[in-house]
Amino acid sequence: MSAVVRARRAVRETVAGLPPAFWWLWTSTLVNRLGAFVATFLAMYLTLDRGYSATYAGLVAALHGLGGVISSLGGGVMTDRLGRRPTLLVAQVATAVSVAALGFVHHPVAIAAVAFLVGMASNASRPAVQAMMADIVRPEDRIRAFSLNYWAINLGFAVSSMAAGFIAEHSYLAGFLIEAGMTLVCAVVVFVKLPESRPVRSAETIAREDSVSLGTVLRDHRFMGVVGLSFLIALIFQQAYVGLPVAMGLAGFSPADYGFAIAVNGVLIVALQIPVTRFIQHRDPARLLVISSVLAGYGFGLTAFAGSVGVFALTVCVWTLAEIVNAPTQTGLVVRLSPVHGRGRYQGMYTMSWAVAALMAPLMSGFVIDRAGAGWLWGACAGLGTVAGVGYAVLARRLPKEEPADDAAKGRRGTERPGSVRPG
């Protein structure tokens, strides 16, 4: 059998069996990431185009991140209360309006305020996306579905990063308006093609929904253990965008050198996410999380020994493999530990762990590099990866072998109704 035939069969097996609603949600994700502009070039826009200081640009970026932290929980509550589809529509329309507004405001206070709103609006949709995906995809297909979604995110980001550079050379305002327009396209896709997927709200379901609050999530020690470990992993991966460029700059490397090294991450994810997922989708998730945590920590740890762009790129290869394994596995585990009637809140808490890490990672990297040097930062990453790996190994003893049958069944029954989507 030729390599081409094997590749075609692998692709068919990867995409087969997923419901049409998943592919519309996947399309919405891809379009959204293809239009990403603000997060990539906000700092350059503020410093080069508007002439503000690096300190002010950092403050605006922090406010953007703080908005994401707050909306992670708010978006989760909306997902459970209002439904997946209304939350997506509200978040995407609000994102489009606030992103467009950001291109027109000039006063520093106004820019900071609107950037905060952009952070809130853009992050509010994430719990709804994950909850809807869990609703419409069969439990045995979820790792594959989350992996395909993650692949779309990275493909879109890789393309948009290159396109944004060309757009920024001509007009930053055009970039803001293009992102706003493509976000509206996502909202149209959701409105036209995606019916509500939340399970049918019987009297019993409503009572169960009312019994799940953010306090319930916080008291779920097993789940909060996963959230805490995901926070450690997020701190490690965030160093690719905060610690790594600073460390390479201090070592005498150029922005182009960093761009080449970090581009390896996107290329590998696009090339390997699907085949690696085929390899891991039926394996023990706890073991995969242990391995990926340690691999991520020591992948960044090896950066301490990098002395050339080629070696930096090799370290990126190591932790990218960990990212490819960790992302869909951890998302699938979060769904497995979340009750159907509380998926939004649980997903919101999980999303918040990454948003908080995005806030703390720059502080962590700056403090360690300034006080002790970049080598200690990479050593800290290795330590965090080890701690996370041990944590997942301990947590594995308390994890269910599979999704509880009653919740899985309720999730499927809930989508089998007129105007909704039947998974599989």
- Render pLDDT for 389-402 as a digit per residue (tens, 0 to 9): 999 999 887 766 55
Residues 267, 377 within the same domain? yes
pLDDT of residue 138: 87
Residues 39, 68 within the same domain? yes
pLDDT of residue 405: 40
**What's the pLDDT band for 407 if we cut at 50, 70, 90?**
very low
Residues 29, 171 within the same domain? yes
pLDDT of residue 410: 43
Q: Residue 282, Cβ neighbours under 10 Å: how many?
A: 9
In the chain, the N- to C-terminal Cα span, in Å, equals: 30
Segment 98-126, tens digit of pLDDT = 999 999 998 999 999 999 999 899 888 88
pTM: 0.75
Average pLDDT across the chain, whole number: 82
Opening angle at CA 319, ends 224 and 44, nearest 5 = 90
**Residue 371 belongs to some domain of the structure:** yes
Q: Mean pLDDT over residues 317-331, rounded?
A: 92
**Residue 413 belongs to some domain of the structure:** no
Residues 141, 223 within the same domain? no
CATH code at position 390:
1.20.1250.20
**Residue 12 belongs to some domain of the structure:** no
**Structural domain of 31:** 19-198
Residues 230, 376 within the same domain? yes
DSSP 281-319: TTS-HHHHHHHHHHHHHHHHHGGGG--SHHHHHHHHHHH
Segment 152-192, tens digit of pLDDT = 888 887 777 677 767 777 888 888 999 999 999 999 999 99
Residues 191, 218 within the same domain? no
**Residue 367 belongs to some domain of the structure:** yes
Residue 134's φ and ψ, nearest 5 degrees, are -65, -35
How far, in whole angstroms, is CA 213 from its chain's centroid? Answer: 23
Segment 88-98, tens digit of pLDDT = 999 999 999 99
Segment 146-163, tens digit of pLDDT = 888 888 888 887 777 677
More confident residue, 214 or 7: 214
Q: Which of 374, 387, 362 is nearest to 297 (CA)?
A: 387
pLDDT of residue 90: 94
Residues 250, 184 within the same domain? no
CB 231 within 8 A of CB 334: no
The encoded tokens of residue 332 equal 């699938």
Residues 325, 188 within the same domain? no
CA dihedral 301, 302, 303, 309 (to 10 degrees): -160
Q: Mean pLDDT over residues 205-225, rounded?
A: 75
Q: Which amino acid makes up residue 349?
A: M
Whether the per-residue pLDDT at 43 is higher than 80: the answer is no
How many domains does the structure of the chain reveal?
2
More confident residue, 398 or 293: 293
Residues 371, 232 within the same domain? yes
**What's the pLDDT band for 282 if we cut at 50, 70, 90?**
confident
Residues 190, 247 within the same domain? no
